[in-house]
Structure 1
Amino acid sequence: MKHTDNKTWKVVAEIVMALLSILALLPFLLLFISSITDNTWATANGFSFFPKKLSILAYQYIINQWTTIGHAYLMTIITTVVGTIISVLITTGFAYALATKGLPFRGLLNFLCIFTMLFSGGIVASYYCWVSLFHVRDTLWAMIFPNLMMNAFNVILVKNYFMNSVPPSLIEAARIDGANEFKIYRSVVLPLSVPIVATIGLMTAIAYWNDWTNGLYYLTARNGRNYYTIQMVLNSINDSIQFLNQNSDISGLSGAQLPTTTVRMAIAVVGILPIILAYPFFQKYFVKGITLGGVKE
C-alpha cells in the first residue's frame, strides 16, 4: 500500500513538473513565433502563438545588418569570455583566502565582503572612481571591470563550498609536502571544485552576456561604439524605433518594409540562443554547486 502511494505521488509530481516546464518554455516559444510573424500583422494585432501571417523579413534584416550586429556579437563573446575567466579567478582566489583558517584579519575581510552586499557607494561615486582613477571610459575594460567583476554572493557560495566539500586533510597533506598556498589552490582546491566553479562561471557569463548598463554609462564617445555588445545594439533599437529607418539605406529595405516590431524579437532570439544551448551542459554542476555552496558554515 505504501509503495502504491509513493508511486502515485511520484506520478503527480512528474505531471506538475512537466506542466511547470511547459509554462517556463511558453515565453521562449512566443518570442520565436513573434520573430517570424509578419511585421504589419503583428503591429495591427499584437503577438500571438497562432499568427495568421508569417514572415522571415526580420531575420533577413539581421543578415543584411551583419556588419554591425556581427561586430556586436564578437564584442559580446570577447567581453563574456574574458570577464568570466577573470571573475572566476578573482572570486575563487578570494574565497579560498576567506576559507583558510588562521588567515590574518580573516574576520575583517569577511565583514567587508558581506558589507558590499548590503551597502553601495552609488552609481555616481562608482562612475567617478572608474572614470577618474582607472580611466576605463570608452575602452573594452569598461565592459569588463565595473559592476560584474566580483560578486560578494558568489564569494560566499565558493567559500562555503571550499569549507564543506574540500577535505582539509588533503590541504594539510599538500602543505606537509611543501606546496605553497598558490599551488594548493591551483592543484588541489580548484580540481575538486568543478561544480561550484561551473556554477559561478555560468552565472557570471549570463550577467556579462546580458549586460548593457556598463555600455550605457561608460561608452559615451563615438569611438566607444566600437565596443558595443549585442545588448547595446538591441537596447538602441528598443529606445528608438527610428533607428531602423535611419539605417534603411544600409539594410537595402524601404521604410515600409522594415520589420520595426518583429526585428527586436529576432535579435532577442539570436541573443539568447547561445545561453540556451550552453545551459544544459552546466545544469548538473549548477544544481550541485548551489546546493553545496549554500550550506551554512
Structure 2
Amino acid sequence: MITNTKLSKIVPHVCLAILTLTCILPLLLLALASFTDEQTLLLNGYSFFPAKFSMAAYQYIFKAGNAILRAYSITIFITIIGTICNMAMTVLLAYPLARPGLKGRNLIAFIVFFTMLFNGGLVPTYIMYSQMFHIRDTIFALLIPSFLMSPFNVILVRNYFKTNIPDAIIEAAKLDGASEINTLVRVVLPMSTPIIGTIGLMSGLAYWNDWTNGLYYLVKRTDLYTIQNVLTNMLNNAQFLKTASQLQGVNVEMGTLPSVGIRMAIAVVALLPVVIVYPFIQKSFVKGIVVGGVKG
C-alpha cells in the first residue's frame, strides 16, 4: 500500500521525469532527422526510427569546411570578448545601484528599467551605429549592438548584491582600508559566483545565437560572418537551388538537395557547443536566477 509520504515523493519525480522527456525528446528527434534521408523525411515525416539514414545534409554543410571553421572561430571570439565586456559593464553598473550611499540611484535604476520597455527602433539604431559610430563592416558590428549591455542583467545583479551581500562585510572591508574597486573585486565578486555565471551564460548565448547583427551591419565583409550567418546562407542557397530547379524544369533528384535535413543539421551544428558547455555552469545558472530574481 502506498502511503501519503511515498506518494508525495513519487509524484514530483514522475512529473520531473515527464518534463525532462519533453525537453530531451525534441532534441533527439531533431538530431535523428538530420541523419535521415531527404525522401524518407518527405514521405514519412519525422521519426525516432528512421527507415533510411543519410549524411547528405552534413556533407552539404561541411563542403565549405574553411568557411565553417572561420565562422566558428569568429563566433567563439565574439562570444568570449562580448561576454566579458557585458559582464564587466553589468557589474560596474549594478554594484553602485545596490549601494545605499549612491545619490539618485532610484532615478538611475528607473532609467535602466525604462530601456527594457522602450527603444528608438531598428532604423534609428542602424543609422546611429553605421553613420555616427561607423561600425558597419567591422568586427565591432558583432560586439556592440544589442548585447553589450542588458538592463535585465543589471537588475538581476543589483538584486543579488542587495539581498546576498551583507552591508556589514562591505563596511568591514572599508574599515580595513579597501577602496570601492578592491571591495568589489576581492569581497563582492567572490561571493557572487552564481549570478556571475548566470549573466555570463545568458550573454554568451545571446552572442552565440545572434545572426541579426551580421545581417544588418556586415554588407561587404562576409568573411566576418558568424556560424549562424554562414549556416543561414547555406540554408537559403539550398532552398534557392531547389526552387530554381523546379521552376526551370531541371531534373534534380530530391535527395541531392536535402533542404529539410539541412535545417535539422544546421540546428545541431549550432546547438552542439552550447549543449557541451551548459552542464558545467548549470548549478550557478539556476541559483543565480532564483536568488537574483528576488525583488530588491
TM-score, L = length of structure 1: 0.91
Q: Deviations over 1:233-282 (max 9, x none)?
A: 2222343434678xxxxxxxx96434333123112112101111111111
- Cα deviation for residue 60 of structure 1 reads 2.7
Tell me, in whole angstroms, the C-alpha distance in 1 between the residues paired with 2:32 and 2:165.
47
Q: How many pairs align?
A: 287
Deviates more, 1:43-52 or 1:20-29: 43-52
Q: Give the match for residue 50 of structure 2.
A: 51
Residue 53 of structure 2: SS of its match in structure 1? Answer: coil
Tell me, in whole angstroms, the C-alpha distance in 2 between the residues paired with 1:118 and 1:213.
20
- Cα deviation for residue 48 of structure 1 reads 2.4
Provide the aligned C-alpha RMSD in A: 2.1
Q: Give the match for residue 130 of structure 2.
A: 131
Whether contact under 8 Å (1:237, 1:243) holds in the other structure is: no
Q: Deviations over 1:74-130 (max 9, x none)?
A: 111111111001100100110001111111321221111011011111111111111
Q: Structure 1, unaligned stretches of length 5 or more? A: 246-253
Show the 5 A alignment for 1:180-219: 180-219=179-218
Aligned with residue 225 of structure 2, among 223, 228, 237? 228
Q: Give the match for residue 284 of structure 2.
A: 285
Q: Structure 2, unaligned stretches of length 5 or more? A: 243-250
Tell me, in whole angstroms, the C-alpha distance in 2 between the residues paired with 1:117 and 1:131.
23
Deviates more, 1:98-107 or 1:110-119: 98-107
Tell me, in whole angstroms, the C-alpha distance in 2 between the residues paired with 1:85 and 1:207.
13
Whether contact under 8 Å (2:238, 2:257) holds in the other structure is: no
Show the 5 A alignment for 1:66-77: 66-77=65-76
Residue 3 of structure 2: SS of its match in structure 1? Answer: helix
Tell me, in whole angstroms, the C-alpha distance in 2 between the residues paired with 1:120 and 1:202.
24
Residue identity over aligned pairs, in percent, reads: 49
The aligned amino acid for 2:195 is: I
The aligned amino acid for 2:229 is: M
Show the 5 A alignment for 1:26-105: 26-105=25-104
The aligned amino acid for 2:215 is: L
Whether contact under 8 Å (1:230, 1:271) holds in the other structure is: yes
Whether 2:4 is the aligned partner of 1:5: answer: yes
- Cα deviation for residue 200 of structure 1 reads 0.7
Q: Deviations over 1:176-219 (max 9, x none)?
A: 12221111111111111000000011111111111111111111
Residue 134 of structure 2: SS of its match in structure 1? Answer: coil
